[in-house]
Amino acid sequence: MYYLPRSSVENSLPTVHELNDRGIEVSLSYLPVAHQDLGGTKEDVAVYFHAIDTIKKLKLHSDLTLKVHQFGWYLDPALAQKNIEKVVAHAHKAGVFIWVDMELAPTIDWTLDLFYSLKKKYSNVGVCLQAYHRRTERDLYKLLAKKSAVRLVKGFYKDGDFKTWQEVTNNYHKLMKPLLFHSSKPAIATHDIALLDEAKRIIKKNKIKNAELQFFYSICDEYAFASAEEGFKCRIYLGFGTLLPFFVKGFMTFDKIRSWKRFFGMKLS
Protein backbone atom coordinates (compact mmCIF):
# COMPACT_ATOMS: atom_id res chain seq x y z
CA MET A 1 0.00 0.00 0.00
CA TYR A 2 1.42 3.41 -0.94
CA TYR A 3 -0.73 5.46 1.44
CA LEU A 4 -0.22 6.29 5.12
CA PRO A 5 -3.64 6.86 6.80
CA ARG A 6 -2.39 9.85 8.77
CA SER A 7 -3.48 13.42 8.37
CA SER A 8 -0.23 15.32 8.87
CA VAL A 9 3.20 15.27 7.30
CA GLU A 10 4.71 14.94 10.79
CA ASN A 11 3.20 11.48 11.14
CA SER A 12 4.96 10.45 7.93
CA LEU A 13 8.40 11.49 9.20
CA PRO A 14 9.40 8.15 10.81
CA THR A 15 8.86 6.43 7.46
CA VAL A 16 10.69 9.17 5.56
CA HIS A 17 13.67 8.94 7.93
CA GLU A 18 13.68 5.14 7.70
CA LEU A 19 13.74 5.25 3.89
CA ASN A 20 16.36 8.01 3.80
CA ASP A 21 18.56 6.00 6.16
CA ARG A 22 18.45 3.13 3.68
CA GLY A 23 19.52 5.34 0.80
CA ILE A 24 16.03 5.88 -0.61
CA GLU A 25 14.68 9.33 -1.43
CA VAL A 26 10.97 10.07 -1.02
CA SER A 27 8.22 11.83 -2.92
CA LEU A 28 5.58 13.00 -0.44
CA SER A 29 2.05 13.64 -1.64
CA TYR A 30 -0.97 14.85 0.29
CA LEU A 31 -3.92 12.53 -0.29
CA PRO A 32 -5.87 14.34 -2.99
CA VAL A 33 -9.49 15.36 -2.71
CA ALA A 34 -11.30 16.80 -5.72
CA HIS A 35 -12.63 19.81 -3.84
CA GLN A 36 -16.11 21.17 -4.43
CA ASP A 37 -15.43 24.41 -2.57
CA LEU A 38 -12.77 27.12 -2.71
CA GLY A 39 -11.90 26.77 0.97
CA GLY A 40 -10.69 23.23 0.47
CA THR A 41 -8.17 24.24 -2.19
CA LYS A 42 -6.72 26.87 0.16
CA GLU A 43 -6.32 24.20 2.83
CA ASP A 44 -4.33 21.99 0.47
CA VAL A 45 -2.05 24.87 -0.53
CA ALA A 46 -1.36 25.39 3.19
CA VAL A 47 -0.61 21.67 3.66
CA TYR A 48 1.94 21.73 0.85
CA PHE A 49 3.53 24.93 2.17
CA HIS A 50 3.97 23.20 5.53
CA ALA A 51 5.38 20.07 3.87
CA ILE A 52 7.90 22.19 1.95
CA ASP A 53 8.96 24.00 5.11
CA THR A 54 9.32 20.66 6.92
CA ILE A 55 11.49 19.16 4.17
CA LYS A 56 13.75 22.21 4.25
CA LYS A 57 13.95 22.46 8.03
CA LEU A 58 14.74 18.78 8.58
CA LYS A 59 16.88 18.48 5.43
CA LEU A 60 14.85 15.49 4.25
CA HIS A 61 15.76 13.73 1.04
CA SER A 62 12.30 14.27 -0.37
CA ASP A 63 10.46 16.05 -3.12
CA LEU A 64 6.69 16.52 -3.49
CA THR A 65 4.07 15.23 -5.92
CA LEU A 66 0.82 17.14 -6.41
CA LYS A 67 -2.33 16.45 -8.39
CA VAL A 68 -4.14 19.16 -10.29
CA HIS A 69 -7.67 18.27 -9.22
CA GLN A 70 -7.03 18.96 -5.54
CA PHE A 71 -6.15 22.57 -6.34
CA GLY A 72 -9.49 23.37 -7.95
CA TRP A 73 -9.27 22.10 -11.52
CA TYR A 74 -12.92 20.97 -11.53
CA LEU A 75 -14.03 24.29 -10.05
CA ASP A 76 -11.94 26.72 -12.05
CA PRO A 77 -8.78 25.84 -14.04
CA ALA A 78 -7.46 29.38 -13.61
CA LEU A 79 -7.78 28.96 -9.84
CA ALA A 80 -5.95 25.64 -10.00
CA GLN A 81 -3.08 27.19 -11.95
CA LYS A 82 -2.80 30.03 -9.45
CA ASN A 83 -2.78 27.61 -6.50
CA ILE A 84 -0.22 25.29 -8.05
CA GLU A 85 2.10 28.15 -8.95
CA LYS A 86 1.99 29.33 -5.35
CA VAL A 87 3.22 25.90 -4.23
CA VAL A 88 5.91 25.67 -6.91
CA ALA A 89 7.17 29.20 -6.14
CA HIS A 90 7.36 28.46 -2.42
CA ALA A 91 9.17 25.19 -3.12
CA HIS A 92 11.59 26.95 -5.47
CA LYS A 93 12.67 29.29 -2.68
CA ALA A 94 13.15 26.31 -0.37
CA GLY A 95 15.06 24.22 -2.92
CA VAL A 96 12.37 21.51 -3.07
CA PHE A 97 11.46 19.78 -6.33
CA ILE A 98 7.81 19.44 -7.39
CA TRP A 99 6.31 16.76 -9.63
CA VAL A 100 3.01 17.64 -11.31
CA ASP A 101 1.18 14.34 -11.66
CA MET A 102 -1.01 13.39 -14.62
CA GLU A 103 -4.63 12.34 -14.20
CA LEU A 104 -7.62 11.56 -16.42
CA ALA A 105 -7.40 12.23 -20.16
CA PRO A 106 -9.38 15.53 -20.06
CA THR A 107 -6.63 17.07 -17.91
CA ILE A 108 -3.64 16.21 -20.14
CA ASP A 109 -3.45 19.27 -22.39
CA TRP A 110 -4.13 21.63 -19.49
CA THR A 111 -1.50 19.95 -17.31
CA LEU A 112 1.14 20.15 -20.03
CA ASP A 113 0.32 23.80 -20.72
CA LEU A 114 0.61 24.47 -16.99
CA PHE A 115 3.99 22.71 -16.87
CA TYR A 116 5.40 24.71 -19.80
CA SER A 117 4.24 27.91 -18.14
CA LEU A 118 5.84 26.95 -14.83
CA LYS A 119 9.06 25.79 -16.47
CA LYS A 120 9.65 29.26 -17.91
CA LYS A 121 9.80 30.68 -14.36
CA TYR A 122 11.00 27.84 -12.13
CA SER A 123 13.68 25.17 -12.41
CA ASN A 124 12.24 22.87 -9.73
CA VAL A 125 9.32 21.33 -11.61
CA GLY A 126 8.73 18.11 -13.53
CA VAL A 127 5.70 16.45 -15.10
CA CYS A 128 4.30 12.94 -15.35
CA LEU A 129 3.37 11.15 -18.59
CA GLN A 130 1.31 7.97 -18.93
CA ALA A 131 2.36 5.28 -21.42
CA TYR A 132 -1.17 3.99 -21.91
CA HIS A 133 -1.99 6.93 -24.20
CA ARG A 134 -0.87 6.89 -27.85
CA ARG A 135 -0.30 10.63 -27.74
CA THR A 136 2.37 10.20 -25.05
CA GLU A 137 5.14 9.60 -27.59
CA ARG A 138 4.43 12.98 -29.19
CA ASP A 139 4.12 14.67 -25.81
CA LEU A 140 7.37 13.11 -24.60
CA TYR A 141 9.46 14.25 -27.55
CA LYS A 142 8.12 17.78 -27.20
CA LEU A 143 9.08 17.77 -23.53
CA LEU A 144 12.50 16.29 -24.25
CA ALA A 145 13.22 19.00 -26.82
CA LYS A 146 12.97 21.43 -23.91
CA LYS A 147 15.14 19.26 -21.62
CA SER A 148 12.24 18.72 -19.24
CA ALA A 149 12.10 16.59 -16.12
CA VAL A 150 9.69 13.74 -16.89
CA ARG A 151 8.28 10.88 -14.81
CA LEU A 152 7.02 8.02 -16.99
CA VAL A 153 4.32 5.70 -15.64
CA LYS A 154 2.13 3.13 -17.35
CA GLY A 155 -1.16 4.72 -16.32
CA PHE A 156 -3.48 4.67 -13.34
CA TYR A 157 -6.96 4.99 -14.85
CA LYS A 158 -8.58 2.85 -17.54
CA ASP A 159 -9.24 5.60 -20.07
CA GLY A 160 -6.21 4.90 -22.26
CA ASP A 161 -5.98 4.09 -25.95
CA PHE A 162 -4.41 0.65 -25.95
CA LYS A 163 -6.57 -2.45 -25.86
CA THR A 164 -4.22 -4.71 -23.89
CA TRP A 165 -1.84 -4.21 -20.99
CA GLN A 166 0.96 -5.75 -23.07
CA GLU A 167 0.57 -2.92 -25.58
CA VAL A 168 0.99 -0.44 -22.73
CA THR A 169 4.13 -2.27 -21.61
CA ASN A 170 5.49 -2.25 -25.16
CA ASN A 171 4.88 1.48 -25.45
CA TYR A 172 6.57 2.10 -22.11
CA HIS A 173 9.61 0.13 -23.30
CA LYS A 174 9.67 2.15 -26.52
CA LEU A 175 9.63 5.49 -24.67
CA MET A 176 12.02 4.55 -21.89
CA LYS A 177 15.30 4.88 -23.80
CA PRO A 178 14.73 8.38 -25.24
CA LEU A 179 13.53 9.49 -21.81
CA LEU A 180 16.70 8.25 -20.12
CA PHE A 181 18.99 9.80 -22.72
CA HIS A 182 17.36 13.19 -23.18
CA SER A 183 15.43 14.21 -20.06
CA SER A 184 17.07 16.58 -17.58
CA LYS A 185 15.63 14.39 -14.81
CA PRO A 186 14.32 11.05 -16.14
CA ALA A 187 12.16 9.08 -13.71
CA ILE A 188 11.31 5.45 -14.47
CA ALA A 189 8.19 4.90 -12.35
CA THR A 190 6.93 1.34 -12.64
CA HIS A 191 6.77 -1.95 -10.74
CA ASP A 192 7.42 -4.00 -13.87
CA ILE A 193 10.66 -5.80 -12.97
CA ALA A 194 11.60 -6.53 -16.58
CA LEU A 195 11.35 -2.84 -17.47
CA LEU A 196 13.24 -1.86 -14.33
CA ASP A 197 16.05 -4.31 -15.08
CA GLU A 198 16.31 -2.96 -18.63
CA ALA A 199 16.35 0.62 -17.36
CA LYS A 200 19.15 -0.26 -14.94
CA ARG A 201 21.19 -1.80 -17.77
CA ILE A 202 20.79 1.36 -19.87
CA ILE A 203 21.63 3.64 -16.93
CA LYS A 204 24.71 1.64 -15.96
CA LYS A 205 26.05 1.11 -19.49
CA ASN A 206 25.68 4.79 -20.42
CA LYS A 207 26.61 6.18 -16.99
CA ILE A 208 23.42 8.23 -16.75
CA LYS A 209 23.78 10.07 -13.45
CA ASN A 210 20.48 11.93 -13.19
CA ALA A 211 18.05 9.02 -13.64
CA GLU A 212 15.72 7.79 -10.91
CA LEU A 213 13.80 4.57 -10.33
CA GLN A 214 10.50 5.38 -8.61
CA PHE A 215 8.04 3.15 -6.75
CA PHE A 216 4.93 3.23 -4.61
CA TYR A 217 5.62 2.62 -0.93
CA SER A 218 5.56 -1.07 0.13
CA ILE A 219 5.09 -2.50 -3.37
CA CYS A 220 8.70 -2.97 -4.48
CA ASP A 221 10.58 -1.90 -1.38
CA GLU A 222 13.09 -4.76 -1.39
CA TYR A 223 13.87 -4.18 -5.06
CA ALA A 224 14.37 -0.48 -4.32
CA PHE A 225 16.67 -1.22 -1.37
CA ALA A 226 18.76 -3.62 -3.44
CA SER A 227 18.94 -1.17 -6.35
CA ALA A 228 20.04 1.64 -4.04
CA GLU A 229 22.79 -0.59 -2.69
CA GLU A 230 23.91 -1.16 -6.29
CA GLY A 231 24.30 2.60 -6.67
CA PHE A 232 21.05 3.50 -8.45
CA LYS A 233 19.04 6.50 -7.32
CA CYS A 234 15.68 5.31 -6.04
CA ARG A 235 12.66 7.24 -4.82
CA ILE A 236 9.53 5.96 -3.09
CA TYR A 237 6.17 7.75 -3.43
CA LEU A 238 4.59 8.15 0.00
CA GLY A 239 1.06 9.48 0.29
CA PHE A 240 -0.40 10.85 3.51
CA GLY A 241 -3.73 12.36 4.44
CA THR A 242 -7.26 11.51 5.50
CA LEU A 243 -8.77 8.56 3.69
CA LEU A 244 -12.53 9.06 4.23
CA PRO A 245 -12.85 12.46 2.49
CA PHE A 246 -10.82 11.08 -0.41
CA PHE A 247 -13.37 8.36 -1.09
CA VAL A 248 -16.50 10.33 -0.23
CA LYS A 249 -15.65 13.60 -2.01
CA GLY A 250 -12.90 12.67 -4.45
CA PHE A 251 -14.58 9.74 -6.14
CA MET A 252 -17.94 11.51 -6.23
CA THR A 253 -16.34 14.27 -8.28
CA PHE A 254 -14.49 11.84 -10.53
CA ASP A 255 -17.84 10.19 -11.28
CA LYS A 256 -18.92 13.32 -13.14
CA ILE A 257 -16.30 12.53 -15.77
CA ARG A 258 -15.81 8.78 -15.66
CA SER A 259 -18.02 5.96 -14.42
CA TRP A 260 -17.12 4.25 -11.15
CA LYS A 261 -16.67 0.98 -13.01
CA ARG A 262 -13.98 2.38 -15.30
CA PHE A 263 -12.29 4.34 -12.53
CA PHE A 264 -11.85 1.24 -10.39
CA GLY A 265 -10.47 -0.68 -13.38
CA MET A 266 -7.00 0.58 -12.48
CA LYS A 267 -3.71 -1.32 -12.52
CA LEU A 268 -0.55 -0.73 -10.54
CA SER A 269 2.49 -1.80 -12.56
Query: Is 21 among the residues known to form the active site?
Result: no
From first to last of its 269 residues, the chain has per-residue pLDDT tens of 444 545 689 989 999 999 999 999 999 999 866 666 777 788 889 999 999 999 999 999 999 999 998 898 888 899 999 999 999 999 999 999 999 999 888 999 999 999 999 999 999 999 999 999 999 999 999 999 999 999 999 986 777 788 889 999 999 999 999 999 999 999 999 999 999 999 999 999 999 999 999 999 989 999 999 999 999 999 999 998 865 544 444 443 333 333 333 333 344 45
* Residue 1 Cα distances to 9, 57, 65, 192, 216, angstroms: 17, 28, 17, 16, 7
CATH numbers and ranges of domains, the chain: 3-263 (3.20.20.220)
Q: Which of 63, 139, 151, 159 is catalytic?
A: 151
Query: Is 138 among the residues known to form the active site?
Result: no
DSSP string, 119-182: HTT-SSEEEEEETTSTTHHHHHHHHHHTT-EEEEE--SSS--S-SSHHHHHHHHHHHHHHHHHH
Q: Which of 44, 63, 101, 139 is catalytic?
A: 101
The pLDDT of residue 243: 54
pTM: 0.87
Please state, in angstroms and rounded to a whole number, the distance separating the CA atoms of residues 27 and 16.
Answer: 9
